[in-house]
């Protein structure tokens, strides 16, 4: 993997040969969620992807993002290359109307061996692929945690024996996430990745989505609805292609330099048509 290129993308080139530490893990996590957006636009551009971490890392280095399999897959490869003891786990994210379960619709990371004053055990929940959730790692210790305007709860899972439950802030976009303690290979996510990128029932297929977290809240783009969530919520509908692509570039750090003008025109038409169908209640 192009470790040096990945660290330049994060603005942390000095960490290339640095010893592992809890402080540097936090810096890597914060930089990742602030500079690499959660996005699923490749689906809307008709560009198939895989769950291969090296493929995802190369796309990130080129200035794009991805969703959990891409972001956490690539991030785990970067952390391993830097010497961190990182493990992948099968998880399940639930929307507000769904029941908890380990569905493999989410890839989770943990890192161990990094004690700190606030986490003497040295084990951390690391997740750069939860969209509107974590800004920095959480101690893998049951408790209530606040990051910026949002409050999270970490507790033993009721559906994964020995595993963990992450309860999201109630103002945000999903209910919570469970994950098991067993080590997972990337092949465990291949079938669900195919479903999430092709099925008409997939949220990624129904709605063009992007999120970017910072210390004070999260920006979210669903279709043409741009929302800033922090201390309260503010939303605006992007009514033109100029506004749409300007928001992607300026807010989500997605100038889409790898997308041709013709592809951008097609993307705008598809997103605009889906938004109009949503407004009128017609199937998108």
Q: What is the DSSP letter of 223?
A: T
- Residue 25 is predicted with a pLDDT of 98
Using pLDDT thresholds of 50, 70 and 90, give the confidence band for residue 282.
low
Position 209 pLDDT exceeds 90:
yes
Q: What percent of the chain has pLDDT over 90?
A: 92
The pLDDT, as a whole number, for residue 77 is 98
Q: CA-CA distance, 236 to 275, in Å (whole number)?
A: 13
List pLDDT tens digits, range 125-137. Answer: 999 999 999 999 9
With DSSP H G I counted as helix, E B as strand and the rest as coil, what are the percentages for the chain, rounded to 5?
Answer: 35, 25, 40
Domain borders along the chain are 202-280
Summarize pLDDT for 55-92 with one digit per residue, the tens.
999 999 999 999 999 999 999 999 999 999 999 999 99
pTM of the predicted protein model: 0.95
In the block, which residue shows the tokens 């067993």? 182
Residue range 21-37, pLDDT digits in tens: 999 999 999 999 999 99
Domain 202-280: assigned CATH number:
3.30.2140.10
| 219: β partners | 212, 228
Stretch 120-125: mean pLDDT, rounded? 97
- When pLDDT is cut at 50, 70 and 90, the band that residue 236 belongs to is very high
Mean pLDDT of the chain: 95
pLDDT value of residue 255 = 97
Reduced 3-state DSSP string for 154-180: EEECCCCCCCEEEECCCCCCCCEEEEC
**What's the confidence (pLDDT) of residue 283?**
56
pLDDT value for 280: 83
pLDDT of residue 96: 86
Helix, strand, or coil (residue 281): coil
């Amino acid at each position: 993997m192009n470790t040096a290129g990945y660290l330049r993308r994060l603005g942390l080139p000095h960490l290339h040969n640095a010893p592992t530490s809890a402080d540097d893990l936090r810096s890597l996590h914060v930089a990742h969620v602030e500079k690499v957006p959660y996005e699923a636009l490749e689906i809307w551009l008709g560009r198939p992807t895989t769950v291969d971490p090296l493929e995802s890392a190369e796309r990130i280095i080129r200035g794009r993002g991805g969703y959990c399999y891409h972001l956490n897959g690539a991030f785990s490869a970067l952390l391993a290359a830097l010497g961190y003891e990182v493990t992948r786990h099968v998880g399940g994210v639930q929307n507000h109307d769904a029941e908890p379960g380990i569905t493999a619709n989410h890839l989770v990371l943990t890192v161990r061996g990094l004690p700190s004053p606030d986490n003497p055990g040295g084990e951390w929940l690391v997740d750069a692929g939860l969209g509107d959730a974590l800004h920095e790692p959480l101690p893998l210790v049951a408790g209530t945690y606040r990051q910026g305007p949002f409050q999270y709860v970490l507790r033993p899972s009721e559906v994964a024996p020995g595993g963990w439950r992450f309860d999201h802030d109630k103002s945000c976009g999903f209910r919570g996430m469970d994950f098991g303690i067993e080590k997972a290979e990337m092949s465990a996510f291949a079938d669900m990745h195919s479903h999430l990128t092709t099925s008409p029932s997939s949220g990624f297929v129904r709605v063009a989505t992007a999120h970017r977290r910072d210390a004070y809240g999260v920006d979210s783009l669903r279709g043409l609805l741009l929302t800033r969530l922090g201390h309260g919520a503010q939303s605006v509908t992007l009514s033109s292609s100029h506004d749409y692509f300007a928001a992607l570039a300026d807010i989500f750090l997605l100038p889409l330099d790898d997308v041709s003008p013709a592809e951008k025109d097609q993307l705008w038409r598809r997103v605009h048509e889906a938004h109009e169908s949503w407004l009128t209640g017609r199937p998108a």
